[in-house]
Amino acid sequence: MKIISRYIIKEVSYVTLMGFFIFTFFLIMNSLFVMSDLVVKYGVDIFTVVKLLILLLPSTVAVTLPMAFLVGILLTYSRLVQDNEYHGMQACGISVAKVTIPSILLAIVITAGLVLFNNYVLPAANLEYKKVYYEIVKKRSGILIQEHTFIKQFDDYVFYIGEKDNKNELLKNILIFIKDKHNSDEPVKVITSKEGEFISDEKSFRIALKLKNGVLQTGSFTEPERLNSIFFAVNYVDLDIQGAMRKKNIADDLKGSREMTAQELYAEMKKGPQSRHDKNWVILELHKKFSLPFAVIAFAVIGIPLGLLTRKGGKITAISFSLVLIFMYYILLSVGQSYGYSGKWNHFAAAWLPNLAMIAISAVLFIAIFLPFIAVKIKNRRAQQ
């Protein structure tokens, strides 16, 4: 039995490792195109960009490892069936449970490792990524601003600068168009200001444009006769490039919910209304510290029976099943997160919905595997009677 267990674990591990590198490569490629803009458009040095890519790897690993394990399980067990090795094991009296247990144990080990990884490595990498990106935005924001040019690089804003005083780092005759994030049909808000300057706060990772002596004007398509004007002496516009600083943090509370460990999230949850963070985000992120790693076990318990039931198609069928299950899992995860973050669903249900769905499907598949054995036993008992 030790030989069979080692054989199954070796096969699953090898295919999982190959799938892990492939999935990680494709996800990193998407980020690579975004990072290349930093070098080409903003003049960021290549070593800083490489550091950003390395800091992105932990968040990629948390997603690609469960996906790769599912592929490893399906390809291994479907190959055992296709090569008649599984039928040979059955002929020798080896039960389905004994073929299943090695992969379940491997899944438990990987899940435990991912829990630790997601709890310590991932938050630290996310925080360091925010720090590095902040330094980039802080150094490059002034360079992006040019006179008599519409500047579109900053998220949610379009700038037009009439005059730029490089010596005193002042901007004059500023025109800002604010995009409506939720309704593109609404007219944009417009800010005009006589002068402004860039400010940055390293403690809170905040970069803003400080405007002086200006006016904010808003209108509406439905009521064009109503034009609201708000005059101000000083106003601040928070800036961002490609979403890096979108989640603003208070100076004495630097970490966002995704940069916290489970212990920190639990402590934040216990603060109740006194917490500076959104309660729904904190609770859901705490559940995800365990629900996302548990996907490895969920994929194992659904992949094993599905692989053993695969009679035709071999690798193509196994890979097809993998892609369908991965798509189902992350669609359910996306739906759960959407309703969980907004507080519309119970946080446990929102975080664990994909795993519960996979386990429910796996129960049906295991019943399909054991039904022939149960039918034979019932038939033998009736024959003896």
For the stretch 179-233, pLDDT in tens is: 766 555 566 788 999 888 877 665 555 677 888 989 988 876 666 666 778 888 8
Confidence (pTM): 0.72
For the stretch 230-254, pLDDT in tens is: 888 888 887 765 444 444 443 334 5
At residue 42 the predicted structure's pLDDT band, cuts being 50, 70 and 90, is low
Question: Which comes out higher in pLDDT, residue 36 or 106?
Answer: 106
Q: Over the chain, what HEC string results?
A: CHHHHHHHHHHHHHHHHHHHHHHHHHHHHHHHHHHHHHHHCCCCCHHHHHHHHHHHHHHHHHHHHHHHHHHHHHHHHHHHHHCCHHHHHHHCCCCHHHHHHHHHHHHHHHHHHHHHHHHHHHHHHHHHHHHHHHHHHHHHHHHHCCECCEECCCCCEEEEEEEEECCCCEEEEEEEEECCCCCCCCCCEEEEEEEEEEEEECCCCEEEEEEEEEEEEECCCCCCCCCEEEEEEEEEEECCCCCCCCCCCCCCCCCCHHHCCHHHHHHHHHCHHHCCCCHHHHHHHHHHHHHHHHHHHHHHHHHHHHHHHCCCCHHHHHHHHHHHHHHHHHHHHHHHHHHHHCCCCCHHHHHHHHHHHHHHHHHHHHHHHHHHHHHHHHHHHHHHC
Q: Of the candidates 330, 295, 325, which has an alpha carbon nearest to the alpha carbon of residue 310?
A: 325
Domain boundaries, the chain: 2-138+273-384, 156-238
At residue 290 the predicted structure's pLDDT band, cuts being 50, 70 and 90, is very high
Residue whose structure tokens are 């860039």: 198
Q: Of the candidates 172, 175, 202, which has an alpha carbon nearest to the alpha carbon of residue 191?
A: 175
Q: Using alpha carbons only, what angle is made at residue 285 by residues 26 and 356, rounded to the nearest 5 degrees? A: 80
> With the C-alpha atoms ordered 157, 160, 165, 171, is the resulting torsion angle positive or negative?
negative
pLDDT at 48: 86
